[in-house]
Amino acid sequence: ISFVFGIRDIDDGYIFDMNDRGHLHLMPIDLHRLVTLDFFKQFIQDLGKRNDLFLSNYDLERDFNAFYQLSKQNSFIDEVKYNLSKTNPLEMMNETIRDAIIENNQRSALKEAMQCITGTAGENNIPIEFCQEQLKKQRSYSWTVLLDKPSSIDGSVRPFAIFITIRGNLNNTNYKSYDVYYRKIKDFFDPYIKKYAPIHLKHGWFSSPTFAFYGIQRETVVGSYSSLVVSLGIALLVLFLTSGNLFIAIYALITMTFSINVAIAIFATLKWELGIVEAIILIMSVGLSVDFVVHFGVGYIHADPNRIDRERKKVRNRYLSTTPESSSFRLLWKEHEVEREIRVRESISRVGSAVFMAAFTTFAAGFSMIHASLTAYREMGQFLMTIMLTSWFFAMFFFLPLCAILGPVGAYGSIPFTRIALHFKRCIHRN
């Protein structure tokens, strides 16, 4: 796990160009300030205390302590003492002046450290032995200082980023384990940075090469569900505009949701693992399952009104002749009941055979693919067979019975498209 300071976690590369790496968004790390070094020292010590997240921080502490001593020691000790002795004691009592002197000395020490790291020891009277003595303490690259190009003015090298790397203690590689582990690190790091980090280091973030595949998996899971919800919303709008009735659109959406959930349960039973192909298949399930309920819904709405009126009159006359003193509510319920029955019967008689043949042919196409050796083809065949079976079954044995019990009657819940069109036409002529 690498904790990064000095670079913002911004990816501004073109998302459709894998070779576009974008630009580095640098932030000041002020490595010459003691408050920065003290924070890193305490942070590294606290990493070693989290045995539930990380392994030993021994090498990390050794690397940092070598750099810490290197950046705090100044080979010009006599010069520093001379500068301090020349300073007015009254000025040394002023915190601003004293901090400025200390920061200037610390900056000089950091400059020497950078020259040692970049192999320019011997310049500016820096003893080679001094660099070798400090650099031989480094054991690994757990503490890494990224350096900028040498300055064209004085040749000094400026550090622009810090990488603090420590091994994690995650042994499992499944998605659930990675997800729990990632969230634990995030719950530790984000509050820690917010509470203890100096202002100029609050941009820190963490990453790991092992999180690359986890990131793909997480985006696949989140993207699959969000795309599924968006697809269902679009399907609801299309159903509403196609059928022209709000209740038919809602009943169709409920039917699609049930059929898709059952299909996903079947995929889980078949030991599918969510990947790119599987995510695309899940999103496609909305488009394939909407066809049958749309046909049945439109057939229900566009039933023959003359036949409905005749059957309602028959029910009314028969009911009034047998029970002349009955309540109007029971009579209205009987009329609505017979209207729903007629609408369902006409819907089945009009589009039932076409819907069945469409489901059967697509099911057969999927059956021809399930024996393929390639996993993508085999899963596509299983998907076609499953989604055709579940969507036809729920459209036939859930959507139509639901319409027979609670379906809209007359123009209830329908959109008056004709009136809306006439209204807009009149408005246009007036203008």
* In contact, 206 and 2? CB cutoff 8 Å: yes
Residue 192, domain member (yes or no): yes
Q: Measured between alpha carbons, how far is 156 from 158 in angstroms, rounded to an integer?
A: 7
**What total of structural domains would you count in the chain?**
2
Beta carbons within 8 Å of 402's beta carbon, 6+ residues apart: 251, 254, 255
For residue 256, give the CATH number of its domain: 1.20.1640.10
Question: Could you tell me if 195 and 295 lie in one domain?
Answer: no
66-104 per-position pLDDT tens digit:
777 766 654 333 444 444 444 444 444 444 554 555 455
Residues in the chain: 431
Question: What per-residue confidence (pLDDT) applies to 233?
Answer: 87
* In contact, 6 and 160? CB cutoff 8 Å: yes
Question: Could you tell me if 336 and 199 lie in one domain?
Answer: no
Question: What per-residue confidence (pLDDT) applies to 72?
Answer: 61
> Where among 184, 207, 230 does a domain terminate?
207
Beta carbons within 8 Å of 45's beta carbon, 6+ residues apart: 57, 61
| 47-59 per-residue burial string, b: 16 or more CB within 10 A, e: under 16 | beeeeebbeebeb
Categorize the per-residue pLDDT at 130 as very low, low, confident or very high, splitting at 50, 70 and 90.
Answer: very low
> Where among 149, 174, 207 does a domain terminate?
207
Question: Could you tell me if 273 and 414 lie in one domain?
Answer: yes
Residue 297, domain member (yes or no): yes
Residue 8 has pLDDT above 50, yes or no: yes
Instruction: State the chain's mean pLDDT as an integer.
Output: 79
Q: Give the percent of the chain with pLDDT over 70.
A: 78
Mean pLDDT along residues 177-192: 92
Higher-pLDDT residue of 257 and 326 is 257
Residue 115, domain member (yes or no): no
Categorize the per-residue pLDDT at 255 as very low, low, confident or very high, splitting at 50, 70 and 90.
Answer: very high
Residue 133, domain member (yes or no): no
Question: Could you tell me if 318 and 408 lie in one domain?
Answer: yes
Question: Could you tell me if 162 and 297 lie in one domain?
Answer: no
Beta carbons within 8 Å of 251's beta carbon, 6+ residues apart: 293, 297, 399, 402, 403, 406, 407
Question: Could you tell me if 201 and 241 lie in one domain?
Answer: no
Counting DSSP H helices and E strands in the chain, the numbers are 15, 4
Domain of 407 in residue numbering reads as 217-429
Residue 102, domain member (yes or no): no
Residue 124, domain member (yes or no): no
List the structure tokens of 172: 């499992």
Residue 98, domain member (yes or no): no
Question: Could you tell me if 396 and 250 lie in one domain?
Answer: yes
Question: Could you tell me if 150 and 227 lie in one domain?
Answer: no
Residue 23, domain member (yes or no): yes
Categorize the per-residue pLDDT at 206 as very low, low, confident or very high, splitting at 50, 70 and 90.
Answer: very high
Lowest-pLDDT choice from 15-29, 244-258, 285-299, 370-384: 15-29
> Where among 151, 185, 207 does a domain terminate?
207
Mean pLDDT along residues 157-161: 73
Q: What is the pTM of this model?
A: 0.63
310-359 per-position pLDDT tens digit:
888 887 777 777 765 556 777 777 888 888 889 999 999 999 999 999 99
Question: Could you tell me if 173 and 309 lie in one domain?
Answer: no
Q: Measured between alpha carbons, how far is 29 from 160 in angstroms, rounded to an integer?
A: 7
Sheet-wide strand order for 143-147: 143-147, 159-165, 2-5, 205-207
Q: Measured between alpha carbons, how far is 252 from 239 in angstroms, rounded to an integer?
A: 8
Question: Could you tell me if 368 and 232 lie in one domain?
Answer: yes
Question: Could you tell me if 309 and 171 lie in one domain?
Answer: no
Q: DSSP string of 26-83?
A: B----TTSHHHHHHHHHHHHHHHH-TTTB---HHHHHHHHHHHHHHH--S-HHHHHHH
Question: Could you tell me if 186 and 249 lie in one domain?
Answer: no
Q: DSSP string of 213-248?
A: HHHHHHHHHHHHHHHHHHHHHHHHHHHHHHH-BHHH
